[in-house]
Structure 1
């Protein structure tokens, strides 16, 4: 079942191909939101297993079968999710989702206002992500991404599907939280690999997507924390967009080594050889959400295939030595892909 939430782009060719493959195509006629679209697709479908996926996700060979095998072979599993890559060559991992909370909202806001808080917050997220990034066996997680998840119709019907009060974002986080509260586990499955050509839906109307994000964030915090959550959502948003935060974001960042504007693959030279290093990749100098590149040695240069995945933009990389227990900082670099 394909649900078209009034895409501004012409979907004629895709619709024709989907119908030829036996899919059912539903034109919503308006942008009803991700939650509403998914719920409609679930009602129109007939299978015992449901796979929810964004249109910008590509399944690599064997990934769907691996997800089904894990879901059906383990008791009390609410949903399973794949290992998500940024590029088809599988060299850059997406960050795992971190469950939002009142504490996280406050910590994240401080990270928009202080260099010390920013470093502490982003490193805390990295420590949470490392076990998931490094997992070679099925790993239980606190939440998954609604951009690609497999579950049974029984679980979906039992827990009520997505809450349509979330216009975009947080509808999946809310549902996965309800799954765990009902005694179900959430599993990420190494070996079930997908490529997410990130935010192809959101970039068609970035301002609307951002507005819906803040609306959903407020509703989520209010739903689970009541009046304190709603007040915290309003207060933290105001601080993040305050002149204080703007001055912090505009501060000189002398600690970042700028490699300039580059058309060819840059080379990142680390200060020392590492048995295992992690390069976190992001377009945000605050490293609030970053992907992962693992390697060894004293340098990293993207392969031609990896370099193709870098569209024109400014990128930031933070190096960490992860050879031992605690990640050790190596440096931060930036370049603009032209």
Structure 2
């Protein structure tokens, strides 16, 4: 994902936009439906934007709109990531659901193998005197959360 939208003066059409503040036309809600309830806090906004674009509509970022978003108040994931602590189970369950939903099981496998390869390279660089690996605690295991049942609804207590 490209997560940082370049700041521009004019409206842009990004692949997805954060739903921290979003307006959705009623006709699009009728056509596409609501957010997929199988996602919990993560990947629901890129999933919905992808569905909007597949239906032939546009996702628009309007820089004139202003909102104050008090990040991280609904869950601790951003702070945990900054501290390299283990992220909540639902982050990985939603990640798995997103890749399986939009790229199939093979796409999910490819995403996980690419992440694992990058992680192995980062660990090797660290052993050779480079900077600390960027992954959170147990992330190498956690990215495989729900791999065998990727479309399962998130269930509490999967954090092992």
Smaller-chain TM-score bracket: 0.5 to 0.7
CA distance in 1, matches of 2:86, 2:26: 31
Partner of 1:98: 2
1:222 to 100, 124, 143: 100
CA distance in 2, matches of 1:235, 1:285: 17
Instruction: Write 1 or 2 for the structure with the bigger share of strand.
Output: 1
Partner of 1:323: none
Matching of residue 213 in structure 1 with residue 91 in structure 2: yes
CA distance in 2, matches of 1:231, 1:249: 25
Residues 26-74 of structure 1, C-alpha deviation per residue, up to 9 Å, x if partnerless? xxxxxxxxxxxxxxxxxxxxxxxxxxxxxxxxxxxxxxxxxxxxxxxxx
- The higher radius of gyration belongs to 1
- Cα 1:240–1:199 shift into 2, 3 Å: farther
Please report the TM-score for the alignment, with normalisation by the length of structure 2: 0.63
Over the aligned positions, Cα root-mean-square deviation in angstroms equals 3.2
Matching of residue 245 in structure 1 with residue 149 in structure 2: no
Matching of residue 193 in structure 1 with residue 62 in structure 2: no
How far did 1:189 drift? 1.2
Residues 130-171 of structure 1, C-alpha deviation per residue, up to 9 Å, x if partnerless? xx31x1122222211122111123311320211122233111
Unpaired runs of 5+ residues, structure 2, are 135-160
Please report the TM-score for the alignment, with normalisation by the length of structure 1: 0.33
Unpaired runs of 5+ residues, structure 1, are 1-96, 100-124, 254-283, 287-338
Considering Cα pairs closer than 8 Å and 6+ residues apart, tell me whether 1 or 2 has the greater RCO: 2
Partner of 1:234: 112
How far did 1:196 drift? 2.3
How far did 1:180 drift? 0.8
CA distance in 2, matches of 1:146, 1:209: 20
